[in-house]
């Protein structure tokens, strides 16, 4: 049993800040504890801005070494305070928490990754992991949807991904008006249109991360393609305050999302009350 | 079983002096015509032996309403380790002992919460028997007989107090009182048994718990929730008074210059409107109906996670403290059970 508080964070010094859009910056922190090396795709950490508060942020890179990358969107108190900080300042980090995407189960299988909006942050940890261990997996399809093509994150990384032969990438935006982005093919449409388009068959494992509304429609289309509920993996967002199964903020029905999740298979979610992300489909 | 002792009631003063010699003694004290509170007591006369439910449950001694858990100064982050005086809780009833069991499980699960543990370990708990009133339903929840969570348990058997030993620390305390206590005789044991039998027959409130789990599963969409939820004020009274509500918020308090500060933990309530809201102004339980039925399910159905226990111990505190008069758990369960009977009758 650990003798120090599970709620205490280790210092993380901001090494670099890369603005991706006005409100989405990629932060790289040094990890003084070394604990974050254990991060797996889909897990999260609690980021603390002293004097302001904490919030859960997904691990954004496939491998965590001396540093960890987090993609943060400025939405409220903690994230705005972080956006005021500069390289060299320190924050608190603790984690990793939760069960991420079951990469061991995915081994040897065909994989489709579906990201909506900021959901691309945790999905990035997964594609980087898969590419790092490419020979362990079958086909790899990546679908990324957003409202406006301005919102596209990881533009340069996508340019490289689009050139690779071992991954098929589909990017869609509901609105693409505005300055041209010559090097990236962004199709007009939604995540659901890309699911229809992509050669996904019933034997695929599918990992999804996006807003609740996306899940409902995406899951419907994927099920139409014959993918069983046990192959559909959804990452749920709840207000995780402690991350360790104590504070109760992340309850879904009787389960702690922070411990049992955030990633669940649809087959599990179908049995839980309060899961607004799925339709609790009949037989 | 040899670990049963008795103390003649006249000698309780002397036993109390032994407790005081070990630490600060807390016990139920009458604070108004109808209410009791666990307070520090300096003499036996202050103790309300007749008290049933205290306003707040004794969880507050291990898990205070507010506590500093982390401090920082410059770039040094420190765990806050306050000096905790040894505390003796006297007069904890079976429902609240069962409540300790649930709190111990939650805070003890890995990663264990040492803020809770430190206080728990610096305490001695002495349980006390009670006679149910019309709001008690520990019998329905299976918590009416103390099964743990205490160092010593005291049963009132008339002229004497009957002591059951729960832990080595409790035994050691009795050893230090060996001048005062004696081994229980057959007669004492008979009176002890009689007390618990009489008590078991005294419950006027309750329900048959056998189908509780399935009823709550099946009645998730029952219109009762809408009716109750529409009357709920979302005041959150029902959660701090519950011996098993453990939800908290973590807040930062910064000094004026921003150079130092602390992180505090405070009791929170799932009945507050923002409890389950996330970024993008999205609330997973937007209405009182959603919040109330979540709470009921958590209390009466329990966890789907491995703990596998219900989190109501039948103390009746939520019922007596709800200003809207809707938090009558027993009544709600009976209505839910009834509504299924009605349906099965119709479809026969
Ligand atoms: C597992 C997980 C992974 C995540 N990963 C990322 C990530 O990689 N990147 C990222 O940017 N974000 C991520 N998030 C989301 C992030 O944690 C939230 O956006 C977080 O709320 C931001 O904190 P904040 O203090 O800046 O915002 P807050 O000040 O908490 O405000 C955010 C929103 O919370 C709501 N809110 C907060 N408090 C209350 C209240 N008392 N009453 C009513 N509503 C309230 C409001 O709707 C507000 O719009 C993740 C969340 C989870 C659960
Ligand atoms: S739910 Fe009500 S009756 Fe049950 S333990 Fe909590 S306060 Fe007591
Ligand atoms: S005490 Fe009653 S009114 Fe207040 S939140 Fe609980 S159920 Fe609602
Ligand atoms: S985040 Fe606190 S219990 Fe899950």
For ligand 3, atom 6, which residue shows the shortest CA distance?
Answer: B238
Q: In angstroms, how far apart are the furthest CA atoms of chain B?
A: 73
pLDDT of A281: 63
ipTM entry: 0.91
- Chain B closest CA to A18's CA: distance in Å? 22
From the CA of B283, the nearest ligand is: 1
pLDDT of A1: 43
Decide: helix, strand or coil at residue A221.
Answer: helix
Tokens 């995407």 belong to residue: A101
Decide: helix, strand or coil at residue A63.
Answer: coil
CB atoms within 10 A of CB A136: 14
What is the topology classification, in CATH, of domain A103-269? Rossmann fold (3.40.50)
- The kind and range of the H/E element at A223 are helix A212-224
Q: Are B137 and B98 in contact, with CB atoms under 8 Å apart? A: no
DSSP symbol at B71: E
- Tens digit of pLDDT for each residue in B93-106? 999 999 999 999 99
Which chain B residues are Cβ-neighbours of A2 within 8 angstroms?
111-112, 114
Which chain B residues are Cβ-neighbours of A75 within 8 angstroms?
279-280
Burial A244-279 (b: 16+ CB within 10 A, else e): bbbbbbbbbbbbbbbbbbbbbbbebbbebbbbbbbe
Closest ligand 2 atom to residue B315 Cα is: 8
pLDDT of A242: 96
Distance from C-alpha of B158 to C-alpha of B188, rounded to nearest angstrom: 10
Residues in chain A with pLDDT values less than 50: 1-2
Closest CA to B337 of B216, B205, B203, B204: B216
Q: DSSP per residue over B91-130, as a string?
A: EE-HHHHHHHHHHHHHHHSSSP-HHHHHHHHTEEEEEE--
- Chain A closest CA to B27's CA: distance in Å? 28
- Chain A closest CA to B274's CA: distance in Å? 10
Closest CA to A9 of A93, A78, A68, A90: A93
Decide: helix, strand or coil at residue A99.
Answer: strand
User: Is B246 touching A (CB cutoff 8 A)?
Assistant: yes
Report how far apart, in Å, the C-alpha atoms of A109 and of each of A203, A228, B203 are.
8, 14, 59
pLDDT of A183: 63
Beta-bridged to residue A205, according to DSSP, are: A111
Overall pTM > 0.80 = yes
- Tens digit of pLDDT for each residue in B12-25? 999 999 999 999 99
Closest ligand 4 atom to residue A247 Cα is: 2
pLDDT band at B325 (very low <50, low <70, confident <90, very high): confident
pLDDT of A8: 94
Distance from C-alpha of A231 to C-alpha of A105, rounded to nearest angstrom: 10
Q: DSSP per residue over B179-222, as a string?
A: TTEEE--HHHHHHHHHHHHHHHTT--S----TTHHHHHHHTTT-
- Chain B closest CA to A2's CA: distance in Å? 7
What six digits make up the tokens of B194? 């009689």
Distance from C-alpha of A177 to C-alpha of A4, rounded to nearest angstrom: 53
Instruction: Compare CB distances from B113 to A6, A255, A276 and report the shortest one's residue.
Output: A6
- Tens digit of pLDDT for each residue in B114-123? 999 999 999 9
The mean of the pLDDT values for chain B is 92
Tokens 């109390």 belong to residue: B16
pLDDT of A178: 66
Half-sphere exposure of A56 (CA within 13 A, CB side): 24
Q: Where are the domains positioned within chain A?
A: 10-97, 103-269
User: Is A94 touching B (CB cutoff 8 A)?
Assistant: no
Closest CA to B56 of B243, B223, B194: B243
Does the beta-carbon distance from A7 to B254 stay under 8 Å? no
For residue B149, give every residue at least 6 positions away whose Cβ sits within 8 Å of its Cβ, in sequence order, or none. B92, B97, B98, B99, B100, B101, B104, B125, B127, B166
Half-sphere exposure of B154 (CA within 13 A, CB side): 21
Closest ligand 1 atom to residue A258 Cα is: 1
Q: In angstroms, how far apart are the furthest CA atoms of chain A?
A: 56
pLDDT of A63: 87
Q: Are A76 and A168 in contact, with CB atoms under 8 Å apart? A: no
Which chain B residues are Cβ-neighbours of A248 within 8 angstroms?
246-248, 268, 270
Closest CA to A147 of A207, A188, A197, A208: A188
DSSP symbol at B245: -
Percent of chain A with pLDDT over 70: 95
- Tens digit of pLDDT for each residue in B287-308? 999 999 999 999 999 887 778 8
pLDDT of A173: 92
Residue B193 in this model has a pLDDT that exceeds 80:
yes
Q: Which long-range contacts (CB under 8 A, 24 or more apart) does A226-229 make?
A: A226/A201, A226/A202, A227/A200, A227/A202, A228/A202, A228/A267, A229/A265, A229/A266, A229/A267, A229/A270, A229/A281
pLDDT band at B348 (very low <50, low <70, confident <90, very high): very low
DSSP symbol at B69: E
| Plot region of A95 (φ>0 → left; ψ -120 to 50 → alpha; else → beta) | left
Q: Are A59 and A127 in contact, with CB atoms under 8 Å apart? A: no
pLDDT of A3: 63
What would the mean pLDDT of B321-337 be, rounded to a whole number? 89
Instruction: Compare CB distances from A7 to B69, B275, B298 and report the shortest one's residue.
Output: B69
pLDDT of A98: 96
- The answer to whether domain A10-97 and domain A103-269 are alike in fold is no
Which chain B residues are Cβ-neighbours of A274 within 8 angstroms?
284-285, 294
- Tens digit of pLDDT for each residue in B234-289? 999 999 999 999 999 999 999 888 889 999 999 999 999 989 988 777 888 999 99
From the CA of A252, the nearest ligand is: 4
Decide: helix, strand or coil at residue A12.
Answer: strand
- Tens digit of pLDDT for each residue in B60-97? 999 999 999 999 998 899 999 999 999 999 999 999 99
Beta-bridged to residue B181, according to DSSP, are: B7
Does the beta-carbon distance from B276 to A212 stay under 8 Å? no
Tokens 């002495």 belong to residue: B126
Tokens 């007591």 belong to residue: B41
| H helix intervals, chain B | 12-22, 94-108, 114-121, 138-141, 168-176, 186-200, 212-218, 223-231, 288-300, 317-321, 329-346
**Edge-to-edge strands of the sheet including B4-8?**
B36-40, B24-30, B87-92, B123-128, B152-156, B160-165, B4-8, B181-183
pLDDT of B288: 92
User: Is B309 touching A (CB cutoff 8 A)?
Assistant: no
Q: Are B4 and B164 in contact, with CB atoms under 8 Å apart? A: yes
From the CA of B231, the nearest ligand is: 3
Which value, to the nearest 10 degrees, does the dihedral of the CA atoms of residues B283, B284, B290, B295 take?
-110
Mutational pocket test of ligand 1: of B278, B280, B286, the residue with most ligand atoms within 8 Å of the beta carbon = B278
Distance from C-alpha of B22 to C-alpha of B24, rounded to nearest angstrom: 7
User: Is B282 touching A (CB cutoff 8 A)?
Assistant: yes
Which value, to the nearest 10 degrees, does the dihedral of the CA atoms of residues A235, A239, A242, A246 take?
-90
Architecture label for domain A10-97:
Beta Barrel (2.40)
User: Is A246 touching B (CB cutoff 8 A)?
Assistant: yes
């Amino acid at each position: 049993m650990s003798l120090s508080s599970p709620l205490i964070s280790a210092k993380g010094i901001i090494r670099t800040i890369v603005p991706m859009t006005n409100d989405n910056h990629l932060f790289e922190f040094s990890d003084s504890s070394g604990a974050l090396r254990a991060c797996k795709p889909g897990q999260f950490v609690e980021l603390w801005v002293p004097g302001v508060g904490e919030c859960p942020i997904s691990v954004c890179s496939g491998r965590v070494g001396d540093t960890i990358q987090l993609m943060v969107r400025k939405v409220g108190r903690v994230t705005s305070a972080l956006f005021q900080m500069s390289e060299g300042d320190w924050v608190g980090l603790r984690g990793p928490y939760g069960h991420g995407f079951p990469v061991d189960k995915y081994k040897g299988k065909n994989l489709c990754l579906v990201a909506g909006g900021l959901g691309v942050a945790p999905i990035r940890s997964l594609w980087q992991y898969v590419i790092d261990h490419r020979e362990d997996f079958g086909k790899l399809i990546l679908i990324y949807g957003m409202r406006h093509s301005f919102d596209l994150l990881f533009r340069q990384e996508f340019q490289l991904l689009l050139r690779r032969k071992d991954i098929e990438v589909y990017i869609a935006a509901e609105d693409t008006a505005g300055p041209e982005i010559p090097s990236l093919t962004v199709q007009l449409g939604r995540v659901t249109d890309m699911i229809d388009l992509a050669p996904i068959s019933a034997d695929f494992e599918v990992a999804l991360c996006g807003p609740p509304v996306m899940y409902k429609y995406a899951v419907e289309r994927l099920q139409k393609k014959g993918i069983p509920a046990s192959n559909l993996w959804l990452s749920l967002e709840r207000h995780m305050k402690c991350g360790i199964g104590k504070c109760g903020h992340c309850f879904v029905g009787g389960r702690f999302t922070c411990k049992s999740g955030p990633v669940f298979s649809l087959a599990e979610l179908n049995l839980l009350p309060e899961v607004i992300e799925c339709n609790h489909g009949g037989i | 079983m040899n670990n049963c002792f008795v103390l003649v009631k006249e000698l309780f003063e002397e036993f109390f002096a032994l407790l005081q010699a070990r630490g600060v003694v807390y016990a139920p004290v009458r604070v108004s015509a109808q209410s009791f509170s666990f307070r520090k007591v300096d003499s036996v006369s202050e103790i309300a032996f007749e008290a049933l439910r205290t306003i707040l449950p004794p969880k507050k001694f291990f898990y205070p309403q507010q506590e500093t858990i982390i401090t920082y100064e410059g770039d040094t982050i420190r765990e806050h380790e306050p000096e905790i005086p040894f505390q003796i809780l006297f007069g904890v009833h079976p429902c609240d002992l069962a409540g300790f069991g649930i709190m111990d499980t939650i805070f003890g699960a890995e990663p264990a919460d040492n803020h809770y543990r430190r206080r728990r370990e610096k305490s001695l708990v002495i349980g006390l028997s009670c006679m149910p009133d019309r709001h008690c339903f520990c019998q329905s929840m299976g918590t009416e007989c103390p099964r743990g969570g205490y160092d010593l348990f005291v049963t009132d058997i008339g002229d004497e107090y009957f002591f059951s030993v729960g832990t080595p620390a409790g035994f050691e305390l009795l050893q230090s009182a060996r001048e005062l206590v004696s081994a229980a005789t057959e007669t004492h044991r008979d009176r002890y048994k009689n007390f618990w039998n009489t008590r078991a027959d005294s419950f006027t409130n309750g329900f048959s718990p056998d189908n509780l789990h399935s009823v709550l599963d099946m009645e998730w969409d029952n219109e009762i929730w809408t009716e109750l939820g529409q009357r709920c004020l979302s005041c959150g009274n029902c959660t701090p008074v519950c011996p098993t509500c453990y939800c908290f918020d973590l807040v930062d308090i910064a000094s004026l210059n921003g150079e130092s500060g602390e992180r505090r933990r405070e009791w929170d309530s799932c009945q507050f409107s923002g409890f389950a809201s996330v970024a993008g102004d999205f609330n997973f339980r937007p209405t009182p109906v959603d919040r109330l039925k979540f709470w009921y399910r958590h209390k009466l159905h329990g966890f789907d996670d491995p703990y596998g226990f219900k989190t109501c111990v039948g103390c009746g505190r939520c019922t007596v403290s709800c200003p809207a008069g809707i938090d009558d758990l027993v009544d709600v369960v009976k209505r839910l059970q009834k509504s299924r009977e009605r349906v099965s009758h119709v479809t026969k």
